[in-house]
Amino acid sequence: MIEKNINWAKSALEQNQKLSGGWLQACSPITAEIMAEAGYDVLMIDLEHAPGDMLTTLSQVQAMKGEKAVPFARATWNDFVLIKRILDTGVYGLLVPYVNSKQEVLNAISAISYPSGGIRGVAGSPRAAHYGNNSMEYLTQANQNIFLMTAVETPEAVKNLDDILSVERLDGIFIGPMDLATSMGHFGNPKAPEVQKVIAQVEEKVLASGKVLASIAGSWEDAKAKYDRGYRLVFFFSDTTSLSGFAKERIAQFTAYNT
């Protein structure tokens, strides 16, 4: 039984273990529950590109309860008010998008940390702190238990990567291939040779730093290749795009049969 309030996924990643990741964009507790029951280690609730809010986030986190899956969320933005509300739902990992400098990393750290380490507001009433039931159990452990990743999505982030990696409290780097490619002038084409060269440089630096390297994968073959290169967390199944792929595959099979 996973202990309440212990972020086992963070500990496992710190010990160089490889974990499975699933992506949640449907804002649905049903798909969150299905994927948690399937056995994923980490489930990322997307608040940047999905239409969810705090209530849908809360319901998805609740749907994972009792399973080993640790709830993570991609924040809408590097905003301390939004981050505070996300964490209060009981999320134990945070991916902050579009972080381009060391100062922006420090801002994110401040947002996830209670004083004196940061500016996160202290409250024992939200779900994360068990609605007032033994709240100190959560409050006294949260600063060290929250897993923090920032996204490398621009040439500016790549340029400042050494400074970003110098921040000890930062747990990992997430490479966002589509945004990085587009910001480099290769719209929606992360396979462009120039982009692949930059991704390889980012991978090398992150791996040398000892921080967790994470990203997405469009297939199991892509995920396996990333794990083999040293990634510790890869999100290789989504409750929207993966369903879309399976749906198209089945209708193509039907069409071929029925022609």
Catalytic residue numbers read: 49
Half-sphere exposure of 180 (CA within 13 A, CB side): 28
DSSP string, 115-155: TTS--PPP-SSSGGGGGGSSHHHHHTTHHHH-EEEEEE-SH
Contacts of 244 (CB under 8 A, 6+ apart): none
Q: Decide the pairing of beta strands 70-74 and 42-46.
A: parallel
**Biggest alpha carbon distance in the chain?**
68
Q: Decide the pairing of beta strands 212-216 and 42-46.
A: unpaired
Q: What is the torsion angle, in degrees rounded to the nearest 10, for the CA atoms of residue 60, residue 22, residue 147 and residue 52? A: -40
Type of residue at 98:
Y
Type of residue at 187:
F
